[in-house]
Amino acid sequence: MDERERHNRQVMLLRVKRYWLVGVLQESLHGAELIDLSLAYRTTAVASRNAPEWQNIPGLDGAAFEQPLPVGTQITQVYEQAQGTLLIMGEPGAGKTTTLLQLVSDLLHRAEVDENHPIPVVFSLASWHNHVGIGPWMVNELANRYEVPAWLGQEWLHNGRLLPLLDGLDEVNQNVRIECAQAINQFRQKYVRLPTVVTCRTQDYKTLSTRLKLDEAVVLQPLSGAQIDQYLASMGSRLAGLRAAIQADATLRELAESPLMLSIMTLAYYRMPQEAAIALGGREEGRTFLFDTYVERMTRYRGGEELYDPQEAIRWLAWLARQMSQFNQTMFFLENMQPNWLPRKVERAFVEKLRFTLGGWFWGLGLLAGLLGWLLAGWPALLLGVGAGVVTAVLPTFFRILLLHTRVNWRRIETVETLSWSWPWAWLGGAWGTIGGFVWGGLGSTLGGSFSVPWVFYGGVWGGVSQVLEKALIREEMKLRTTPGQGIVRSRRNGRRVGLATGGITAVILFLISGVMALLHLDFSWRWAVPFILWAVLYLASSAGLIFGGLAAWQHRRLLRQLAESGYVPPGDYVPFLDYAAERNLLRKVGGGYMFAHALLVDYFQNKAD
């Protein structure tokens, strides 16, 4: 392994640790100790060569064939026994993701001390789509979630450098969940020596007609009364009232068997008066009551009601949960917000307004140049300016074209976060653009008259600059987002820099050509040249700035404003609200994105949205 490979590997290990162990596991514990969960083998859950055929009947209740593991057995021991291919199951809130991350912690340590050990990487299956192989999907996820170039992700996968941990088979859309299981099996057949771990809710997995081809399956067991009592005791005497209530109330005790619900009880009641009475009805009613209490307490925590109205905060989070579920996202990035997050009718109006606003801007540039020309050279210059404005307004508005052939996607925000420069393409694009510009400039001069302006040379500059921009500036695949909205900020900065550089360079070249023409006493008129130079500089600078990031930043700002007007997000900057929710353990802040503290919170907020 050379230094470059070693560096890429260390960066990836650091990202996994930062995203999942620091950003998710530590935040989910709220300062408490991990609970050692009990495990049981369920051989019938996997298409394993170790289980008799009669046990692998889909829908068969495998609980009857469970083999409890000794108390204190660690998930890493089970992983080793299964030779790295393992299914982890459990009820909602049973601790599947936490258990998976405990395994990640151990595997990361091994990978740090042994460079031949594969890199453990957590993939959220919620973003998987039908007819996509798990391998190509993983490469795409590495690019989008971990900022790994596609070529490097493909190389790691092909060389067995990855250890995929696929979290949340139950979070895949129900209509394609079977296809996802089949895709995992096909992946296992292709990469038979690659360790693979999958997590899924027990009931959701039970309904599948396809069994995963893994060596072993374990089921997380409910917490025992002793485990619950020990956990509450470790939190101090402040929870003595809650301990007594759990011991006295069978329904509350049943709910506390879920590690998530026990954590929520702790957070929800920690600030309640010690003598507060706890009255719960059935299991579902009790769960809803706990979430209501938890969310209400968290929205008011540390003066939260002074920042945002609690009811509005809940409504905004409910909308976010519904959108993330609809678009199969477990991690929310501001950069992923798109116009189709709006209702269909509002989306159409939003897109139409964008189109005609941009068209109006370009028409205005032509009109401005035309008015200047009218003052300097008379009515023909005004007509030329208005004509140029109409043409440049129609192209993006109705044909989605900027510069010569860059396509505008009105219905999708495409960030431009990093740029690179290609000198070969710059020379090639500049040559072709300049030659084409000469031809069009000469044709225009022949048909429309020269007006004492060197149209041939001006056309060459316009064509050359346009083609250099469209060919030489390349959007990089790797996106490094460490803070929320960083992709939008980078797009805005790139657009501003490219636009200013383009305008400045164009102005210098055009004025140099004009100055040479004037010094040589050729047929040249500044009164006609200045309006054209003004229009060319403003048009090229605006177009370049929009193409290379400005359009994405503008679309995103308008989208947030529209969402706020519709009541889906708070007015103003969205990030402070997301940080507010993360500080109150409703969301988790992971790098430049956010995720809900648990899938059950997503379900809860979705019900609120309904």
Asked if residue 505 is part of any domain, the answer here is: yes
Q: Is 244 helix (H, G, I), strand (E, B) or coil?
A: helix
Of the three residues 193, 221, 249, the one that is the final residue of a domain is 221
Of the three residues 177, 199, 221, the one that is the final residue of a domain is 221
pLDDT of residue 478: 53
Of the three residues 187, 221, 255, the one that is the final residue of a domain is 221
CA distance 526 to 518: 8
Mean pLDDT of 186-205: 93
How confident is the prediction for the chain on average, in pLDDT? 86
Residue 170 sits in a domain of what CATH number? 3.40.50
Q: What is the DSSP letter of 52?
A: -
112-142 b/e (C-beta count within 10 Å ≥ 16 → b):
eeeeebbbbbbbbbbbbeeebebbebbbebb
pLDDT of residue 479: 61
pLDDT of residue 548: 95
Q: Dig out the tokens for 222 from the structure.
A: 């409910």
pLDDT of residue 25: 67
Residues 149 and 46 in one domain: yes
Q: Dig out the tokens for 137 from the structure.
A: 């999907």
Q: Do the beta carbons of residue 265 and residue 290 sit within 8 Å?
A: yes
State the DSSP string of 382-426: HHHHHHHHHHHHHHHHHH-EETTTEEP-TTS------EEE-HHHH
Q: Is 586 helix (H, G, I), strand (E, B) or coil?
A: coil
pLDDT of residue 398: 93
- In the predicted model, is pLDDT for residue 577 greater than 90? yes
Q: How many degrees, rounded to 5, is the angle at CA 344 between CA 343 and CA 350?
A: 85
Asked if residue 17 is part of any domain, the answer here is: yes
Mean pLDDT of 163-183: 92
Residue 39 host element (H or E):
strand 39-41
pLDDT tens-digit series, residues 107-132: 999 999 999 999 999 998 988 987 88
CA distance 245 to 253: 8
Sequence-distant (6+) residues with CB within 8 A of 294 are 264, 267, 268
- In the predicted model, is pLDDT for residue 534 greater than 90? yes
Going by pLDDT thresholds of 50, 70 and 90, the confidence category of residue 281 is: very low
Q: How many helices (H) and strands (E) does the chain have?
A: 24, 13
Say whether pTM exceeds 0.85.
Answer: no
pLDDT of residue 288: 75
Residues 410 and 496 in one domain: yes
CA distance 48 to 41: 12
CA distance 528 to 381: 7
In angstroms, what CA-CA distances link 605 with 25, 95, 369, 403? 22, 20, 54, 45
Sequence-distant (6+) residues with CB within 8 A of 589 are 23, 27, 484, 578, 579, 582
Q: Dig out the tokens for 494 from the structure.
A: 């790139």
CA distance 482 to 487: 9
Residues 349 and 395 in one domain: yes
Q: Dig out the tokens for 267 from the structure.
A: 């957070």
Mean pLDDT of 259-265: 81
Lowest mean pLDDT among 83-87, 325-329, 546-550: 325-329
Helix-helix angle 177-190:134-145, to 10 degrees: 100
Residues 269 and 359 in one domain: no
Domain that residue 250 falls in:
227-328+570-609
Going by pLDDT thresholds of 50, 70 and 90, the confidence category of residue 394 is: very high
In angstroms, what CA-CA distances link 508 with 424, 434, 511, 537? 23, 16, 5, 10
Range with the largest mean pLDDT of 91-95, 128-132, 136-140: 136-140
pLDDT of residue 276: 44
Cα atoms found within 13 Å of the Cα of residue 598, Cβ hemisphere only:
24
Residues 54 and 93 in one domain: yes
Asked if residue 211 is part of any domain, the answer here is: yes
Asked if residue 478 is part of any domain, the answer here is: yes
- In the predicted model, is pLDDT for residue 287 greater than 90? no
Mean pLDDT of 573-598: 87
Closest CA to 262 of 304, 220, 224, 314: 224
Question: Domain tally for the chain?
Answer: 3
Asked if residue 459 is part of any domain, the answer here is: yes
The rounded Cα 138 to chain-centroid distance in angstroms is 15
pLDDT tens-digit series, residues 490-503: 999 999 999 999 99
Asked if residue 196 is part of any domain, the answer here is: yes
Asked whether the CA dihedral 265, 298, 319, 23 is positive or negative, the reply is: negative
237 vs 74, higher pLDDT:
74
Residues 348 and 323 in one domain: no
Long-range contacts of 507-513 (CB under 8 A, 24+ apart): 507/533, 507/537, 509/461, 509/465, 510/458, 510/461, 510/536, 510/537, 513/454, 513/457, 513/458, 513/461
pLDDT tens-digit series, residues 196-255: 999 999 988 988 989 999 999 999 999 998 889 888 888 777 777 778 878 877 777 887
- In the predicted model, is pLDDT for residue 54 greater than 50? no
Q: Dig out the tokens for 550 from the structure.
A: 């400005």
pLDDT of residue 117: 95
Residues 111 and 214 in one domain: yes
**Rg of the chain over CA atoms, in angstroms?**
31
Asked if residue 337 is part of any domain, the answer here is: no
pLDDT of residue 272: 54
Residues 29 and 94 in one domain: yes
Going by pLDDT thresholds of 50, 70 and 90, the confidence category of residue 32 is: low
The rounded Cα 51 to chain-centroid distance in angstroms is 40
Mean pLDDT of 555-561: 97
pLDDT of residue 179: 94
Asked if residue 42 is part of any domain, the answer here is: yes
Residues 389 and 313 in one domain: no
pLDDT of residue 483: 86
**Residue 100, φ and ψ in degrees, nearest 5:** -60, -40
- In the predicted model, is pLDDT for residue 277 greater than 50? no
Q: Is 588 helix (H, G, I), strand (E, B) or coil?
A: strand
Q: Is 592 helix (H, G, I), strand (E, B) or coil?
A: coil
pLDDT > 90: what percent of the chain?
53
Residues 435 and 517 in one domain: yes
Place of tokens 């009232």: 241
52 vs 585, higher pLDDT:
585
Residues 302 and 370 in one domain: no
Question: Left (φ > 0), alpha (ψ -120 to 50) or beta: where does 529 sit?
Answer: alpha
Q: What is the DSSP letter of 91?
A: S
CA distance 604 to 264: 13
CA distance 520 to 516: 6
Q: Do the beta carbons of residue 549 and residue 406 sit within 8 Å?
A: no
Residues 361 and 316 in one domain: no
Q: Do the beta carbons of residue 90 and residue 220 sit within 8 Å?
A: yes
Q: Do the beta carbons of residue 505 and residue 173 sit within 8 Å?
A: no
Q: What is the DSSP letter of 35?
A: P
